[in-house]
Amino acid sequence: MKLKLFGVYSGKELINRVEVSGDEYHPVAIVYVCTEYDGEITPENNQAIEAQFFKLNQLPEQIVPFIKNKLVELKGQLTKIKDSY
């Protein structure tokens, strides 16, 4: 597996509120670039809720807009990241 940290994102742009209770939660998104991987990705229960691979040109619709915008902005840096392997 070839994995490189792409970015760690948190802050006011990512604050979410539960509609029923009004409680706020503050997620942290940790994004990695993976160029090679064999097997199935399975996060440990106490480490992550969800882990998935996506191609930058095939991002899911339900992705947080702030994160999607960051990925689009950083797309140009992929060549530099791939060259550093």
Predicted TM-score (pTM) above 0.95: no
Distance, in Å, from the CA atom of 5 to the CA atom of 84, rounded to the nearest integer, reads 12
Pairing outcome for strands 24-25 and 29-36: unpaired
Q: What is the pLDDT of residue 81?
A: 55
E strands, the chain, are 2-9, 16-17, 24-25, 29-36
Confidence grade of residue 69 (pLDDT, cut at 50, 70, 90): confident
